[in-house]
Structure 1
Amino acid sequence: MTLTADQATAPTARQVLPAEERYAAELAFLAAHDDGPRPPCWALTPRAVVTFICGSGDETLELPKSRRADGELPARLAIAPKFVGERALVERCVVTLAGERGLLLVGEPGTAKSMLSELLAAGVCGTSALTVQGTAGTTEDAFRYGWNYALLLAQGPTPQALVASPVLTAMRTGRVARVEEITRCLPEVQDALVSILSDRRLSVPELAGTADALVAATPGFTVIATANLRDRGVSEMSAALKRRFNFETVDPIADADAETSLVRGQATAAVKRAGAAFGVDDAVLEALVTVFRDLRSGRSAEGWDVERPGTVMSTAEAVQVAASLAVATAYLPGGDVLDLVPGHLLGVVRKDDPADHGRLLGYWDGPVRRRAEDGSALWRRLWDLRENLR
């Protein structure tokens, strides 16, 4: 297929907008609604940041007429919750950032640490874009600075030739820098943050003798990092770096109904981006989430022991499976969506340890069979599909 000139030059839609753009209307409303004290350089008050992330509950917030900016802002707005978790956790995170202390969100993969980090940054400073993605190949330049080598060769080390890292930009502007998967960086690279978080200064020796040789952090600057508790390729953090952070653990969603609702919402959005409607039956979705929760916890809702697979049965993986089922239903109609569930579950489980295949079969021979024997037609159908796991 050959694109026309118009198609080739037309702007393309973005799959996912950053939080500050997706929720721009709510952020603007909250900035006008809460006129309480704000830490330096904060876009919202700490209380408004918590409301932005956790929602306003049953309350519809009302904006005084004097703050409606000539009708540009709505008079009333209910703030939807964006993070499923304890409000107290979010409040502790906000207090940490207000104190300009580093915040480290830890937990198993797929527990929305990155999403919470993004929401916090958007609420605190209006942007989540100052981000470093930690990998085994990340160098100190990602935390400090690099050089435009063309300018470096032409001019030598000048402020114009220096390429600021997201962390350095955050220091200069009093914003939040985000470091994703910090424990995937090598320890010596991680430790580049130690002096930044303790001294709040960054020296540029190449610019010695100029006003730009030392960058002092502007009030409001801080760092949010995320780290997985169990995963491959993880490097231990040094004790010195750990002391620069407040640790907050983001746990899997405790409530089954809340997790099901989140999976439905996230999968619906993903399928919508694929140009289809979410057509997975509620009963099938609830069964899918039940399987994930049982295998994640090692115990079924009924109290039966379950052998946990080595892979993490995260909520994020459940969203992907639910979205795949919906896409298949929309674009490859004609079959029973339940027929697809075992194969997708096997694809999730059999990633790291070949023995996890046997553990999934054991789950089928345990809770799935027992639920089928208790008379559930849906679980009976899943039990009949055991051969699809071979």
Structure 2
Amino acid sequence: MSTILRQHAENLFAQELEELKKQDGDQKPVNWVLSPRAVVTYLVGGKLKNGFEVSPKYIGNKRLMEIAVATLTTDRALLLYGLPGTAKSWVSEHLAAAISGNSTLIVQGTAGTGEEAIRYGWNYARLLSEGPTEKALVETPIMRAMKDGKIARIEELTRIGADVQDALITILSEKTLPVPELNIEVQAVQGFNIIATANNRDKGVNELSSALKRRFNTVILPVPDSMEEEIDIVKRRVESFEKVMQLPAEPPALQEIRRIVTIFRELRSGLTLDGKTKVKMPSGTLSTAEAISVVNNGLSMAAYFGDGQLKAHDLAAGIIGAVVKDPVQDRIVWNEYLETVLKTRDDWKDIYRACRDLGA
């Protein structure tokens, strides 16, 4: 069994991609591994003609995935936008895997990301000894994607400074990357495009210029619409975590996942599910990704410090840690929710006691 902690999507789902490729009779854009219709099937799941089941990677509105894939067949880049934890990076990775067979051509955006991370850099030892030559040039993931006709990914585009963001304008509009030091240019091969992700909740976000916005089609990924949809997402991702980590714990009961999702949805919306009680909202987003993390942490607690069966006291610390980001205001919000909502639910006494006993 592989010891790699997290396989790339194209490796983890290699069998599904291969089956889709075999069954794919639709027209493929140049340098695409699958047709647009097959890419959407890979993302949202479905049964193939030969009976093979493709697992859903994105559980939500199929039309959003169709719009995203259609965008990548045009000369416009794709911006996946939304709250933290709405599967932007996850969708970006799987899109690149299904379209290019390679999800690793990625630039991680940070406040310190420089222009050389997007355009190109230099091997300074060679630069000093040889001067500016092609051998001294260090290709970025974007340059390699342009040469090979593949999808490049930029994570957290709005974390990158505005002056560095603008280095993308020529790449996206002219499909070329000038290298004036060598008096050459790299022209993008068909199949090249960029998927960027951005969220609207980080402090220090850099707004995209209007010129750059025009080069992107934006798809907003929402939080899951329904309770059942969110439970299904958490369940699937937790099962995947258990398999990779080989935890000596039983799969979590659906009831425990439902309770975590209920708490998160109520605090996120400021209203209990029955619509009867308004609650204060904490400062954090309480995303589906955080719900997955709480359950995964609870499973580890149950496996190594419990009896292997997920119980309320295994989850309590994770719940409080997810909710209480601001030690003053969020603590007040959480304690009020604990006493006015959880305490009143007869079948939730165990989770109420576990959270209360931690002194939140």
Query: TM-score if structure 2 supplies the norm length?
Result: 0.94
Instruction: Tell me how far apart the structure 2 counterparts of residues 234 and 115 of structure 1 sit (CA, whole Å).
Output: 21
Structure whose alpha-carbon radius of gyration is higher = 1
Question: Displaced runs of 4+ in structure 1, greater than 4 A?
Answer: none
Instruction: Tell me how far apart the structure 1 counterparts of residues 120 and 303 of structure 2 sit (CA, whole Å).
Output: 48
Aligned match for 2:170, one of 188, 192, 195 = 195
What pairs up with 1:244-259 in 2 under 5 angstroms?
244-259=215-230
Corresponding residue of 2:49: 61
What pairs up with 1:141-290 in 2 under 5 angstroms?
141-208=116-183, 213-276=184-247, 277-290=249-262
Corresponding residue of 1:388: 358
Do the aligned residues in 2 keep the contact of 1:102 with 1:197 (CA within 8 Å)? Answer: yes
Do the aligned residues in 1 keep the contact of 2:16 with 2:42 (CA within 8 Å)? Answer: yes
Change (3 A) 1:247 1:389: farther
Corresponding residue of 1:51: 41
Q: Residue 40 of structure 1: CA displacement? A: 1.5
SS at match of 1:207: coil
Aligned match for 1:344, one of 318, 324, 335 = 318
Do the aligned residues in 2 keep the contact of 1:280 with 1:329 (CA within 8 Å)? Answer: no
Do the aligned residues in 1 keep the contact of 2:178 with 2:185 (CA within 8 Å)? Answer: yes
Q: Residue 12 of structure 1: CA displacement? A: 7.0
Letter in 2 for 1:22: L
SS at match of 2:28: coil
Corresponding residue of 2:343: 369
Instruction: Tell me how far apart the structure 2 counterparts of residues 181 and 278 of structure 1 sit (CA, whole Å).
Output: 36
Do the aligned residues in 1 keep the contact of 2:234 with 2:292 (CA within 8 Å)? Answer: yes
Q: Residue 246 of structure 1: CA displacement? A: 0.5
Do the aligned residues in 2 keep the contact of 1:38 with 1:46 (CA within 8 Å)? Answer: yes
Do the aligned residues in 1 keep the contact of 2:89 with 2:197 (CA within 8 Å)? Answer: yes
Instruction: Tell me how far apart the structure 2 counterparts of residues 320 and 233 of structure 1 sit (CA, whole Å).
Output: 25
Instruction: Tell me how far apart the structure 1 counterparts of residues 334 and 35 of structure 2 sit (CA, whole Å).
Output: 47
Aligned match for 2:305, one of 329, 332, 342 = 332
Do the aligned residues in 1 keep the contact of 2:253 with 2:310 (CA within 8 Å)? Answer: no
Q: Does 1:139 align with 2:114?
A: yes
Change (3 A) 1:353 1:214: farther
Q: Residue 310 of structure 1: CA displacement? A: 0.7
Corresponding residue of 1:103: 78
Deviation track 1:66-124 (CA, whole Å, cap 9, x = no partner) reads xxxxxxxxxx4221111111100000001000113110000111111000001111111
Corresponding residue of 1:27: 17
Do the aligned residues in 2 keep the contact of 1:271 with 1:278 (CA within 8 Å)? Answer: no
Instruction: Tell me how far apart the structure 1 counterparts of residues 22 and 246 of structure 2 sit (CA, whole Å).
Output: 36
Instruction: Tell me how far apart the structure 2 counterparts of residues 320 and 81 of structure 1 sit (CA, whole Å).
Output: 20
Instruction: Tell me how far apart the structure 1 counterparts of residues 310 and 350 of structure 2 sit (CA, whole Å).
Output: 11
SS at match of 1:93: helix
Query: TM-score if structure 1 supplies the norm length?
Result: 0.87
Deviates most, 255-264 or 267-276:
267-276
Q: Residue 54 of structure 1: CA displacement? A: 0.8
Letter in 2 for 1:219: Q
Corresponding residue of 1:6: none
The percent of aligned pairs where both chains have the same amino acid is: 40
The gaps in structure 2 that reach 5 residues or longer are none
Do the aligned residues in 1 keep the contact of 2:299 with 2:314 (CA within 8 Å)? Answer: no
Instruction: Tell me how far apart the structure 1 counterparts of residues 213 and 269 of structure 2 sit (CA, whole Å).
Output: 28
Instruction: Tell me how far apart the structure 2 counterparts of residues 123 and 278 of structure 1 sit (CA, whole Å).
Output: 32
Q: Residue 337 of structure 1: CA displacement? A: 2.3
Deviates most, 340-349 or 271-280:
271-280
Q: Residue 258 of structure 1: CA displacement? A: 2.3
Do the aligned residues in 2 keep the contact of 1:147 with 1:162 (CA within 8 Å)? Answer: yes
The alignment yields a C-alpha RMSD, in angstroms, of: 1.8
The gaps in structure 1 that reach 5 residues or longer are 1-10, 63-75
